Structure formats: structure tokens, C-alpha cells
Amino acid sequence: MLTGYLAPTSGEVHIDGIDAVRNSIEARARLGYMPEGVPLYREMRVYEYLRHRAALKGVDRVADAVDRSLESAGVTDARRRIIGQLSKGYRQRVGLAESLLADPPILILDEPTSGLDPNQVRQFRELVRGFAGDKTVLLSTHILSEVEAVCDRVIIIREGEKVADLAPEESKTSLEDIFAELTASQSTGDAS
């Protein structure tokens, strides 16, 4: 719903103070979104793909935007490579670069390290932590270690309702207890 792919059935969605239903184009312009399975044109070179996506997004100064996003995502060295020949980790970074093209203040990353090897996971986490203080990053994941390694604040949403909001100083045990409780209630069919 935050990305505009689904309309809410009730309630409201606001992105950076903008009603995401009434002003969806304006709200989406404030977002960079990287889905779990990053859809890429595998036959294109990285810079060609990013130029194409920047043009579709109406980004000003496309060449500068592509250079900035390549650097921010740590894929400058792959700019001339064919996407289909890149490792999964590099393809994920290309997806991140695409989400950064318009320099949005908010990034939504859906399972960004899914399928990556441990070294690629570590590198991707470092990239995401590097956005602290510059961008708000919403990380959608079910991996507790991912949350602990990257997040400064944890909000757990279940069936459209916020069930937990933890500050960074709250203990790891609290987060583990909440996940255990949610998992137990899911397996028993309890909707509480």
C-alpha cells in the first residue's frame, strides 16, 4: 500500500505527509522501492538500464542521477557490464541503484538480502546502514538477524495492525519474545 501497488480497503496512507491515495503520483515520487525479486532487463548494461529507468521516472539530469545512484549502491565498477552476467548480489545492488535514481527521501526495501551469500549480505547491510541520517529506510523482512544488524527502530505489523514498536535501546529479548508470540499465535490460528 505504501508503494501504491495496492489500494487500502480502509484507513489512510500518508507518505511524507502526502495522501498516497488522493495524490499517488506525488507520494510515490518521495519513495524509492526495491522489491524482493528485483525486475531487471538482464540483456541491458547496468548504465543503460538505469538511464532507461531514470527517463521513465522523469528524473532531471539523467547522467548525474545515474552516476550518483551507481556510487550510492556500490556498483560503479559494474556500470558497463551486462546485468544478466552479474552475481545475485550485484543485481540486488543494481535494483538498489534504480530505487535511488530520483534521490527519494524514503526507501522501501523488501527482503533485500534474500538469496545472497553471507559476504553479500554483510556488504548490502553496510550499504543500507550508510543511508542513516540521509534517508528513511523501511526494511520489510522476517529475518531477525537482519533487523538487529540494520534497524534503529522496529515496527511489527500483523494483518494491517501495528503490534509492536521498539526503540533501539530495547532488548533483543523483547524482539525475540514478540516474534515467538506472533509465530505461536499464527500456528494456532489465534488472530490476537
Distance between CA atoms of 70 and 97, rounded to whole angstroms? 6
Residue 131 in any domain: the answer is: yes
- What are residue 157's DSSP bridge partners? 162
Please tell me the total count of domains within the chain.
Answer: 1
Domain hosting residue 100, numbered range: 14-152
Top pLDDT among 170 and 158 is at 158
Quick check: 81 pLDDT over 70? yes
Residue 9 in any domain: the answer is: no
Distance between CA atoms of 64 and 13, rounded to whole angstroms? 32
Q: What is the pLDDT of residue 192?
A: 41
Q: 3-state DSSP call for residue 76?
A: helix
Residue 44 in any domain: the answer is: yes
Whether this model's pTM surpasses 0.85: no
Distance between CA atoms of 152 and 166, rounded to whole angstroms? 9
Q: What is the pLDDT of residue 6?
A: 82
Please report, for the domain that includes residue 78, its CATH number: 3.40.50.300
Residue 148 in any domain: the answer is: yes
Give residue-wise pLDDT tens across range 12-58.
888 888 998 888 888 888 899 999 888 899 999 999 999 999 999 99
Top pLDDT among 184 and 107 is at 107
Nearest CA-CA partner of 123 in 154, 83, 150, 101: 150
- Vertex 154: Cα angle to 74 and 106 (nearest 5): 45
Nearest CA-CA partner of 78 in 44, 55, 39, 125: 44
Residues 123-141 have a mean pLDDT of 87
Residue 186 in any domain: the answer is: no
Quick check: 191 pLDDT over 60? no
Q: What is the pLDDT of residue 107?
A: 92
Residue 174 in any domain: the answer is: no
Residue 190 in any domain: the answer is: no
Residue 55 in any domain: the answer is: yes
Nearest CA-CA partner of 141 in 161, 127, 121, 170: 121
